Structure formats: C-alpha cells, structure tokens
C-alpha cells in the first residue's frame, strides 16, 4: 500500500537567502573566508525565524567558479567561515546550495546552461525536496531581480533588499537592508506573542515540530551539534551543489 505523501502542514517553511549582498556584504567574486562579512543586524531576526521553525537555507550563484576566478578548494573554508559567523548569534543554516555554472565560463565542466542558476528555481526546488520544505509558506530574500524571479518561479513569497525598488520586478515586500527585510518577515510570520518563550509551558505559539531547540541549549563549539555533517568541497558539474 502506498504511503500518503507529506502534507504541507508537516513540511517546514523556509527562508531562502542569497549570499553575497544579502546575507553577507557585497564583494566582487569573493574567494577567501575573510571576504565574507555578515550584514549588520541580521542575527536577531534570523534567530527569531529559526525559533519559529523556519529552515534557513542559502541559495547562491557563484559563476566565479565557471569563470575560473574562484578555486574550488576555497568553497568549503568560506562556508565554514559563514557558519562560524552565524554561530556567534546561535543561528544555524539548514543547507547551502550553490550554482557554479555559467554558459560563458572558462572551466569546461561548469560552462553549461543549467536549471539551478537563478533566476531559474532549481536550487529552491532541490532544497525543498531535500529538506522537506513547503515552498508556498516560504520566502526568498535577495538583492537582485534574479533572486525575486527565482522565488516567484518556485512559488515562494519574495523580499527584495536594496536602497531602491528595481524596475520590472514586484516582490512581496521591499526593504532597504537585509535586517529590515528579515524583521518584516518575522513580524508577518510570528504572532504578537513571539516575545514569549515558545518552549515554555502554555505558550500560545508552539514552534513547528521540526524546529531546532532554542540556541541557548545548543553547544557553542563546534557551531553545529556533534555528528552534524560539515560542508564538503566536492563539486559536481551538473545540478546545484549542496554543501551539507
């Protein structure tokens, strides 16, 4: 007998985050761990969304790999650095998905047209499948038209980050900074009782059953609980790359 499929009520919502210019400060083809610097003020809203049961997932185009501007061996150290920076706020990522492709690249195995490079929704679809996320309940947050388009194509709501709205794109919301966008999402998604401990007895808003325990209960070192897989430097020539 066929088992019933998981309903959206049992799937986690997610916040999909662009990396460069959204989660971290903009850099031109960052290629070293020290190039990654978190945007100011993002720790508290990310922590609030994590407490409420949202998966936090990075989806990033990295055409520098296809162009030969970023070495493959640099990816794992950079994402370890990203984990360490977020762990200072006791925030955990549920996954990092990376597209290394560009059809005009210089590295043959990455120089292809693909279905994962944003604005294509391939990374969001893959992450939702891998992590059992409900796309209509999720958000895509980014600083470019391709981020908003990827979210729209995947069926998420979208938040555009930047000083001005962009012509030709209509996000669900627009804010000047990533911290403001994440705070607006948290205000929309978490009821007014969000200041109450969601794990306290009698809480009005229990977190999703798959939500992680509060960060205060998580070990600070290493940044993930023992046994959680760490990022891998292995890159594939087709499809998005999931680092952990």
Could you list the active site residues? 18, 20
Q: How far apart are CA 7 and CA 194, in angstroms?
A: 25
User: For the residues of 181-207, what is the DSSP string, one character each?
Assistant: HHHHHHHHHS-GGGGS-TTSTT-SSPP
Cα distances (angstroms) measured from residue 169 to each of 26, 61, 65, 160: 21, 19, 28, 9
Helical spans, DSSP H, in the chain = 43-51, 63-67, 75-87, 122-131, 145-154, 178-189
CB-based contacts of 211, cutoff 8 Å, min separation 6? 12, 50, 51, 52, 53, 198
CB-based contacts of 95, cutoff 8 Å, min separation 6? 55, 57, 58, 127, 130, 131, 242, 243, 244
Q: What share of the chain is helix, strand, coil (3-state, %, to 5)?
A: 30, 15, 55
Omega before 104 within 30 of 0, i.e. cis: no
């Amino acid at each position: 007998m066929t088992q019933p499929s998981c309903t959206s009520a049992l799937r986690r919502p997610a916040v999909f985050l662009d990396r460069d210019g959204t989660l971290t400060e903009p850099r031109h083809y960052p290629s070293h761990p020290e190039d990654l610097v978190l945007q100011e003020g993002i720790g508290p809203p990310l922590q609030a969304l994590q407490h409420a049961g949202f998966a936090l997932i990075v989806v990033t185009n990295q055409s520098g790999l296809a162009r030969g501007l970023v070495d493959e061996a640099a990816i794992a150290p950079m994402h370890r650095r990203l984990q360490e920076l977020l762990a200072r706020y006791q925030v955990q990522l549920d996954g990092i998905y990376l597209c290394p492709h560009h059809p005009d690249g210089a590295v043959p195995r990455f120089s292809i047209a693909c279905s994962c490079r944003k604005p294509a929704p391939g990374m969001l679809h893959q992450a939702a499948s891998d992590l059992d996320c409900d796309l209509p309940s999720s958000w895509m947050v980014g600083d470019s038209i391709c981020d908003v388009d990827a979210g729209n194509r995947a069926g998420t709501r979208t938040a555009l980050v930047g000083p001005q709205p962009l012509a030709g794109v209509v996000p669900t919301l627009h804010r000047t900074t990533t911290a403001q966008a994440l705070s607006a999402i948290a205000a929309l998604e978490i009821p007014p009782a969000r200041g109450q401990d969601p794990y306290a007895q009698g809480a009005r808003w229990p977190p999703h059953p798959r939500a992680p325990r509060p960060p205060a209960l998580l070990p600070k070192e290493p940044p993930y609980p023992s046994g959680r897989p760490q990022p891998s430097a292995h890159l594939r020539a087709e499809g998005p790359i999931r680092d952990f």
